[in-house]
Amino acid sequence: MKIKNICCIGAGYVGGPTMSVIALKCPHININVVDANQDKINAWNGHIDNLPVFEPGLSEVIEKTRNRNLFFSTNINENIEKAEMIFIAVNTPTKTEGKGAGMAADLTYVEACARDIAKYSKSDKIVIEKSTLPVRTAEKIKEILISNNKTVNFEILSNPEFLAEGTAIEDLFKSDRVLIGGDDTESGQKAIESLVNIYKNWIEKEKILTTDVWTSELSKLASNAMLAQRISSINSLSALCEKTGANVDELSHAIGMDHRIGSKFLKASVGFGGSCFQKDILNLVYLCKFYGLNEVAEFWHQVVKINNYQKERFAQKVIDHFDGNLTGKKIAVLGWAFKANTNDSRESAAIKVSEILYKNGASLSIYDPKVQKRTIVNDIQNLWKIKNSMKEKKINIVEKFAATNDCDAFVIITEWEEFKNIDIDDAKIIFDGRNINENKNKFSIGK
Ligand code: NAD
Ligand code: UGA
């Protein structure tokens, strides 16, 4: 099928950047990114410095494509109707209630998309799972589509996204691989070909892998689990290093030089954050349990448990340094984003570490170069379940690093470039949780 119009449902961290790159590389295709959130769409259409997603290089791509062949709107029905290809790029958070709560992926948003697609489709569609989904979700999507629309033929493909935040545009330009899963039928293979033809505009053919839908869906969960596993492995060893006097960064370097192991994702840190690693591993654990693979489930669950342990262990170090009492202590938290070069704070280690410090009596000055003040306030109110402390001035969100000057100790969480050479008074105490190799004194206290 010749693709002239694409619709992407979900204008978030995946939908916005991926579609802007497809629009840039495929000027012959019109792309409509739709979202139910009017404020977000307004921001995508608004000033280039205030896009809802901060990513290096994104604004340049948006400037070239927006209102040329890339459009953002809340007009879901019309854009579904006119597209030949529809990407589903909505959020798939961990379920908070019902069967599988705390573990399984919440597919409410994906199912709502499938119902909308069925309702507004008048011609054949290729429907693409871009969101990260449990294996065999395509079956459920197909069921919704077919039972709600008997006149149109739907082909479902899985095309998981592997971009990392902070390097999304670079990752999309030079993907390690693009994975496409589809049915082994004539129409399934034709649908795969249509998507391959889009990626072929800038990705080398050898890097475009095709497989069946289930393998593609599971590859995404497995890929995130393997990456996160490496971080938990090195973080677990960081605890042993501290007991034995070994240096975790040098250990990581020594291990990583073995080409069979490799050096990536072996930087010890205060714990991984981000909206996906924890959620995807819990989802994998749930799937293993569902299929009765309890030992396999426990193996992967341990990756998340070590991550929680690491965040708590780091906070406890600060508390121990002050002899178990943070009352009256003023602590600067440097970095709220879950990693550098993003404005995303979802599941950031900063949220957990700061909560522990605050609940042990500390007052906090929080500074991040890109995360908006209102996001930090929302995180605190929603996740710590406290309401009044902002008024009590026990938590201060500051707009400049200099405003943290009067603090007793500095807790550095995010590896922002501007924190690399910050000038902190020699007398102050620094707890450094960043995952940068140059930092020799990880978890060091004092200078
Ligand atoms: P996000 O929360 O940033 O964006 C999702 C958007 O979908 C939101 O703007 C929301 O308003 C919209 N939405 C939800 N339901 C809708 C509906 N029925 N109709 C219209 N709009 C709807 O999420 P994200 O970070 O972009 O992640 C999306 C998916 O991609 C998830 O499954 C995630 O696991 C996966 N993923 C994320 C990343 C990442 O770096 N964030 C990378 C790879 C894969
Ligand atoms: C991760 C994967 O890297 C992407 O391939 C995937 O597409 C994405 O999840 C997703 O599915 O959402 P992301 O979470 O954006 O990307 O960022 P990463 O670079 O993977 O970092 C995740 C966390 O691990 C950060 O908190 C980072 O600081 C931490 N980290 C990373 C370490 O602690 N040590 C390391 O060596 C590397």
DSSP class per residue in 323-373: TT--TT-EEEEE--SSSTT----TT-HHHHHHHHHHHTT-EEEEE-SSS-H
Tell me how far the alpha carbon of residue 32 lies from the centroid of ligand 1, in angstroms.
15
> Has residue 389 got a pLDDT over 70?
no
Check pocket membership of 132 for ligand 1, CB cut-off 6 A: yes
Average pLDDT estimate for 245-262: 96
Specify the ligand 2 atom closest to the Cα of 348: 26
Strand partners, 330: 363
C-alpha 333 – ligand 1 centre gap (Å): 28
Phi, psi of 387 (to 5 degrees): -120, -40
pLDDT category at 424 given cuts 50, 70, 90 is confident
For residue 79, the ligand closest to its alpha carbon is 1
Closest CA to 434 of 424, 426, 442: 442
**Could you confirm whether 407 is annotated as catalytic?**
no
20 Cβ closer than 6 Å to some ligand 1 atom: no
Go through 175-193 and write b for each residue having 16 or more CB atoms within 10 A of its CB, e for each that does not. Answer: beebbbbbbeeeebeebbe
**Average pLDDT over every residue of 152-169:** 98
In this predicted structure, the answer to whether residue 368 has a pLDDT above a threshold of 50 is yes
C-alpha–C-alpha distance, residues 253 and 30, integer Å: 46
% pLDDT > 70, the chain: 96
pLDDT for res 444: 40
Q: How far apart are CA 279 and CA 275, in angstroms?
A: 7
Alpha-carbon span 441 to 417, nearest angstrom: 18
The whole-number pLDDT of residue 59 equals: 98
Q: Does 164 contact ligand 2 (Cβ within 6 A)?
A: yes
Are 118 and 149 in contact by the 8 Å Cβ rule? The answer is yes
**What spacing in Å lies between the alpha carbon of 276 and ligand 1's midpoint?**
11
Nearest-CA residue for atom 1 of ligand 1? 12
Q: Is 91 in the pocket of ligand 1 (CB under 6 A)?
A: yes
Cβ–Cβ under 8 Å, residues 213 and 195: no
Instruction: Tell me if 202 CB under 6 Å of ligand 2.
Output: no
pLDDT higher than 70, residue 124: yes
CB of 314 within 6 A of ligand 2: the answer is no
Give, using CA atoms, the residue closest to atom 30 of ligand 2: 272
Average pLDDT over residues 245-274: 96
CB 390 within 8 A of CB 377: yes
* pLDDT at res. 386: 82
Please name which ligand lies nearest the alpha carbon of 165. 2
Q: In whole angstroms, what is the distance from residue 318 CA to residue 357 CA?
A: 8
Q: In the predicted model, what is the mean pLDDT of the chain?
A: 94
Q: What is the pLDDT of residue 10?
A: 98
pLDDT at 56 over 80: yes
Q: What is the pLDDT of residue 393?
A: 74
Helices 294-321 and 277-290 cross at an angle (nearest 10°) of: 150
Token output for 445 = 């206290």
> In this structure, which amino acid lies at residue 7?
C
Return the residue matching tokens 């105490």. 429
Which ligand sits nearest to residue 132's alpha carbon?
1
Query: Which among 26, 241, 276, 407 is annotated as catalytic?
Result: 276
What CA–CA distances, in Å, run from 300 to 42, 225, 231, 290?
40, 7, 13, 14
Contact yes or no for 395/366 (Cβ under 8 A): yes
Q: Best mutation site among 281, 435, 437 for ligand 2, i.e. most ligand atoms within 8 A of its Cβ?
A: 435
Three-state SS at 158: strand
DSSP structure class, residue 7: E
pLDDT of residue 167: 97
Q: Residue 35 — φ and ψ, nearest 5°? A: -150, 150
Q: Is the CB of 9 under 6 A from ligand 1?
A: yes
* CA 10 / ligand 1 centre spacing (Å): 6
Q: What pLDDT, on the 0 to 100 scale, is given for residue 390?
A: 67
Mean per-residue pLDDT for 360-385?
Answer: 95
Residue 179's nearest CA partner among 220, 145, 144, 151 is: 220
How many angstroms separate the CA atoms of 353 and 372, rounded? 19
pLDDT at 428: 82
Asked if residue 287 has pLDDT above 80, the reply is yes
Asked if pLDDT for residue 443 goes beyond 50, the answer is no
**Cα–Cα distance measured from residue 120 to residue 32, given in angstroms and rounded to the nearest whole number:** 15
Cα 338 to ligand 2 centre (Å): 9
Helices (DSSP H) in 174-212: which residue ranges?
186-199
Q: 358 pLDDT band (50/70/90 cuts)?
A: very high
Residue nearest to atom 36 of ligand 2 (CA): 265
Q: What is the pLDDT of residues 4-40, one digit of tens each?
A: 999 999 999 999 999 999 999 999 999 999 999 999 9
Confidence of residue 435 (pLDDT cuts 50, 70, 90): low
User: What is the 409 CA–ligand 2 centroid distance (Å)?
Assistant: 27
Go through the chain and tell me how many residues it has. Answer: 447
Higher pLDDT, 251 or 393: 251
Q: Which ligand is nearest to the CA of 75?
A: 1
Residue type, 290: F
258, β-bridge pairs:
none
Cα–Cα dist 260/104, whole Å: 33
**Average pLDDT score over residue span 104-110:** 97
Q: How many CA atoms are closer than 13 Å to the CA of 90, on its beta-carbon side?
A: 19
Residue 364 has pLDDT above 80, yes or no: yes
- Closest Cα to residue 133, out of 16, 292, 35, 280? 280
Q: Which atom of ligand 1 is found nearest the CA of 10?
A: 7
Can you read off the two tokens belonging to residue 107? 């597919």
Q: Which pLDDT belongs to residue 405?
A: 86
- Decide: 36 in ligand 1 pocket, CB within 6 A: yes
pLDDT band at 429 (very low <50, low <70, confident <90, very high): confident
- pLDDT tops 70 at residue 332: yes
Which residue from 418, 265, 231 is spatially nearest to 334, judged by alpha carbons?
418
- Nearest protein CA to atom 13 of ligand 2, as residue: 164
Is pLDDT of 188 > 80?
Answer: yes
391 confidence band (pLDDT: 50, 70, 90): low
Q: What is the mean pLDDT of residues 226-247?
A: 96
Cα–Cα distance measured from residue 261 to residue 68, given in angstroms and rounded to the nearest whole number: 45
Give the number of the atom of ligand 2 that is nearest the alpha carbon of residue 342: 15
Kindly give the number of the ligand 1 atom that is closest to the alpha carbon of 112.
Answer: 18
Closest approach atom of ligand 1 to CA 15: 26
Cα 397 → chain centroid: 24
Phi, psi torsion values for 105, nearest 5 degrees: -80, 140
In the reported structure, the alpha carbon of residue 389 is separated from the centroid of ligand 1 by a whole-number distance in angstroms of 31
Ligand 2 near 160 CB (within 6 A):
no
Q: What's the confidence (pLDDT) of residue 434?
A: 77
Pairing of strands 409-412, 330-334: parallel
Q: What is the CB-side half-sphere exposure of residue 379 using CA atoms within 13 A?
A: 25
Say whether pLDDT at 323 is over 90.
yes
Find the 132 Cα to ligand 1 centroid distance in Å: 9
Higher pLDDT, 405 or 143: 143
Per-residue pLDDT for 440 more than 60? no
pLDDT one-digit tens code per residue, 77-101: 999 999 999 999 999 999 999 999 9
- What local confidence, expressed as pLDDT, does residue 426 receive? 74
